[in-house]
A and B are shown apart, each in its own frame.
Chain A
């Protein structure tokens, strides 16, 4: 079945460090790909998305590029802040009814 694999955390970085969270997917068709974020005490919310190969999604300084050849959608940010501390979920959507499948989540902690 369709699935998403993302790196396990937690990931601990110093402020202004470079962030990469790896995500790969398995799908029977051509999915749309997403990163959702859950800040402490809040609900899940969309961070960015890409709907076709080679698309780049970006938001709040985060970027991810849809790589069909490697079935990947890695999340990157050039300089993290303490406020970026959260759990990040990679997800895919496939099919006419937009079924969304999530990865296990990666917890990011940024220390001053």
Chain B
């Protein structure tokens, strides 16, 4: 099966600019996650979708970050305006959802550098 696709792989922007990341999950996976991974830290959950509904966005900085998942498939994560501390790798993951805690399947991530 095709894996989780993310684009772009790398992005460099100046602070106060805006940026968007795209994720295409594995076909049929109902759950989609966006994680932020700052260098030297573990992935931190930003937002979790179940189909096209949000089930957890408690750690999403909503004053600058937004995300959507139209039609329960692809998803975009946007930052506007960016700050220096947003420099990180943004990981998208998907899961088929169900009993027994199915594993997360991760994309390769987008490395964002804010200067």
Contact = CB atoms under 8 A, between A and B. Distances in A.
Interface of A: 4, 32, 34, 36, 42-46, 49, 51, 89, 93, 97-105
A5 to B, nearest CB: 10
Given A101-B45, A102-B43, A51 B101 contact: yes
B63 to A, nearest CB: 21
B107 A100 contact: no
Contact of A98 (B42, B101, B106): B101
Contacts of A105: 41-42
Nearest to A48: B103
Contacts of B76: none
B31 interface: yes
Interface of B: 3-4, 31, 33, 35, 40-45, 48, 50, 55-56, 91, 93, 95, 97, 100-109
Contacts of B40: 104
11 contacts: A34-B103, A43-B106, A44-B93, A45-B105, A99-B56, A102-B35, A102-B43, A102-B44, A103-B42, A104-B41, A105-B42
Given A99-B55, A101-B45, 15 more contacts: A32-B101, A34-B103, A42-B108, A44-B106, A49-B101, A97-B48, A98-B101, A99-B48, A99-B56, A100-B104, A102-B42, A102-B43, A104-B40, A104-B41, A104-B42
Contact of A100 (B4, B33, B55, B109): B33
Contacts of B4: 43
A45 B106 contact: yes
Nearest to B100: A51
